[in-house]
Amino acid sequence: MEKTNNTEKKQVVVIGGGFAGLNFVKNLFHNKYYAVTVVDKNNYNYFTPLLYQVATSFLEPSSISYPFRKLFKKKDVSFRMAGLLRVDTAANKVYLSDGGELHYDVLVFAAGSKTNFFGNDGLRHSTFSLKGIDDALYMRNELIKTLERAVIEQDPIEKERLLTIVIAGGGPTGVEVAGMLAEMRKYILGHDYPELKNTPTEIYVVDGAPYLLAPMSDKTHKAAHKELEKLGVHVKLNTRVKSYENDQVHLSDGEVIEAKSLIWAAGVIANSFEGISAQSIGKGGRMITDAFNRVQGYENVYAIGDISIQFTDSAYPDGHPQLAQPAIQQGKSLAKNLLRMAKGQPLKPFKYFDRGDMAIIGRQFAVADLFKHKVHLGGLLGLLSWLFIHLVSLVNYNNRIKTLYNWAVAYTTRDQALRMIFRSGNRENRY
């Protein structure tokens, strides 16, 4: 059994280094009470809200990701690249995919969520999802390969099918992907692929709700809908994707869309792990926690971010939204409470402060509902707000400079030179 180096401190093991986990750890840098080990299947942190820009070739992966070992250098934090197999809460151990195990005094789950296919395994294997860098790169490669196939396709029906994309989900990810793809169609497709200049290309957004960006204000719903339609995107509301077979998207209203690409952005479900009691799991697979993020039924197991659900915040009786801000705030809150605990001070219950929601649609338009939807911004002001918030939220100065540069290039030229297919597992090209 392995332990972290400092045995005089209590051992804290954190599962996941996303928004919640990283902000938890940052608030325990150089503390004298806890030795912290972060366990993550990736060796880098990445900024989830901008994955779609990697997938659509407007940002490179290194712009939104940064190595954990660089982040934790000289910060008294250990890192372990592994997945979690199971937990033994009686023995206070976690068992890892690399064959090792770790002892803990405090266990913090910050492992986030995964794409929810609502039990439809067929969709899992035939659609694009966007929960990680690997997903984004796979989607980028496949979309570019589809365009290359369309160039040489002689059958006009098949060519049109290749150039039709359906996006399931009208939340921020779905809307932002649709806007970016519409911009590519308008400004890039005819230049990079002159053979496709006069070929019809269709983009659909399908959502079961009566409006886009459901958690946001009515003003934002209307603005987003209007902007997407202005970009030539077909918006189908009160409609769900039922199945996807043989390049046919079957909708709940009976319509069938012939499309080679289906992007799934219709929801998430919490990651789950063996060893946590079913009585501690709530809706969406999320671990039920008290006001201090302690998992129901356990004294030294905590959950923060998407994987946690709290019913103790009076403003959010059904739990907090699975977004970046609640995860960031819960990470900070739990770290401060553990320090209070170590000092014998009273703990403070978590209260979420809603700073607002925002989404960008295309190159020049964004919408933002700030401060519990009391302030609504659209157009240029919305765009500047979106750019600022996303830039300052990136984990490292290096990321901010790279992203700002890439955005400046994309904005001024309406283009990027990142549409390249990089294959893994193919060490030598053979012609």
Active site residues: 176
CA–CA dist 326, 189 (Å, integer) = 38
Cα–Cα dist 322/350, whole Å: 15
**d(C-alpha 203, C-alpha 327), whole Å:** 32
Integer Cα distance of 106 and 420 in angstroms? 44
The angle formed by the CA atoms of residues 58, 59 and 62, to the nearest 5 degrees, is: 165
Amino acid symbol at 168: A
| Cβ within 8 Å of residue 412, ≥6 positions away | none
- Alpha-carbon dihedral angle through residues 405, 411, 413, 414, given to the nearest 10 degrees: 130
CA distances from 359 to 107, 266, 364 (A): 34, 16, 12
| Cβ atoms < 10 Å from Cβ of 191 | 10
Strand, coil or helix: 17: coil
